[in-house]
Chains A and B, each alone.
Chain A
Amino acid sequence: AQSVTQLDSQVPVFEEAPVELRCNYSSSVSVYLFWYVQYPNQGLQLLLKYLSGSTLVKGINGFEAEFNKSQTSFHLRKPSVHISDTAEYFCAVSDSTGIRTALIFGKGTTLSVSS
Chain B
Amino acid sequence: IAGITQAPTSQILAAGRRMTLRCTQDMRHNAMYWYRQDLGLGLRLIHYSNTAGTTGKGEVPDGYSVSRANTDDFPLTLASAVPSQTSVYFCAKLSTGASGELFFGEGSRLTVL
Q: Please indicate whether A and B come from the same complex rather than being unrelated chains.
A: no
